[in-house]
Amino acid sequence: MRELTKAEEQVMLILWELKEAIVKEVIDKMDPPKPAYNTVSTVIRVLENKGFVNHKAIGNTHIYFPTISEEQYKHFAFDKVMNNYFENSYESLVSFLVKEKKLDISQLDEIIAIAEQLKNKK
């Protein structure tokens, strides 16, 4: 799997939400200023070439749908962040969250409880 560009990610978020759509429906879900039809169509074709999207043809219309789930991409993106920025250390990640995002004690307790639940399931 490859990392998505900002434009590709924007289109994928819409396709994951809609499940399937024509180019116009994707554009309709975008915030203003809306990109040109040809721009969105090109991004979708790039996503298709990368294996993130496929289409079904009905007459002259192409209906696009994701072939990679949002969950699959989340795992890929999270693993990349963990590897590149936290050296695969959950301690480093939690330390960053506590220091930089100013987690309060109740939020930290929730993280610890989740970690303990996951540890007990193994």
Assign residue 121 a region: left if phi > 0, alpha if psi is -120 to 50, beta otherwise? alpha
* pLDDT for position 122: 60
Contact 17, 9 (CB under 8 A): no
Three-class HEC string of the chain:
CCCCCHHHHHHHHHHHHHCCECHHHHHHCCCCCCCCHHHHHHHHHHHHHHCCEEEEEECCEEEEEECCCHHHHHHHHHHHHHHHHHCCCHHHHHHHHHHHCCCCHHHHHHHHHHHHHHHHHC
CA distance 95 to 102: 10
Q: Enter the pTM of the model.
A: 0.81
End-to-end CA distance of the chain: 28
* pLDDT for position 88: 86
* pLDDT for position 38: 98
pLDDT by residue for the chain (122 residues), tens only, comes to: 899 999 999 999 999 999 999 999 999 999 999 999 999 999 999 999 999 999 999 999 999 999 999 999 999 998 899 899 999 888 888 888 888 888 888 988 888 888 778 777 76
Contact 43, 7 (CB under 8 A): yes
